[in-house]
């Protein structure tokens, strides 16, 4: 059961968007942690969102990789 080319393009586009958001969030987290008095709750929420993005990225990547029977 393979993906159509349209489905694959849509997944790849979504993956690119999620990767960009993940990297942007990572940059914001790094800058926030450089501040002497940063908002711990805000940082915690950003890290949770970053982890959620990573999970979504992995899920989509798994859709693009065909199952290999070992």
For 60, counting Cβ atoms within 10 Å of its Cβ (0-12 exposed, 13-18 middle, 19+ buried), the class is middle
Q: What is the pTM of this model?
A: 0.85
For residue 37, is it left (φ>0), alpha (ψ between -120 and 50) or beta?
A: beta
**Both structure tokens of 49:** 């969102």
Q: What is residue 69's predicted lDDT score, i.e. its pLDDT?
A: 66
Flag residues of the chain having pLDDT under 50: none
Task: Determine the 3-state secondary structure of 46 from DSSP.
Answer: helix
**Both structure tokens of 38:** 């940063």
């Amino acid at each position: 059961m393979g993906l159509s080319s349209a489905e694959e393009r849509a997944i790849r586009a979504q993956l690119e968007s999620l990767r960009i958001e993940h990297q942007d969030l990572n940059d914001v987290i790094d800058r926030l942690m450089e501040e002497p008095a940063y908002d711990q709750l805000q940082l915690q929420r950003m890290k949770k969102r970053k982890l959620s993005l990573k999970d979504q990225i992995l899920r989509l990547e798994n859709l693009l990789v065909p199952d290999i029977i070992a």
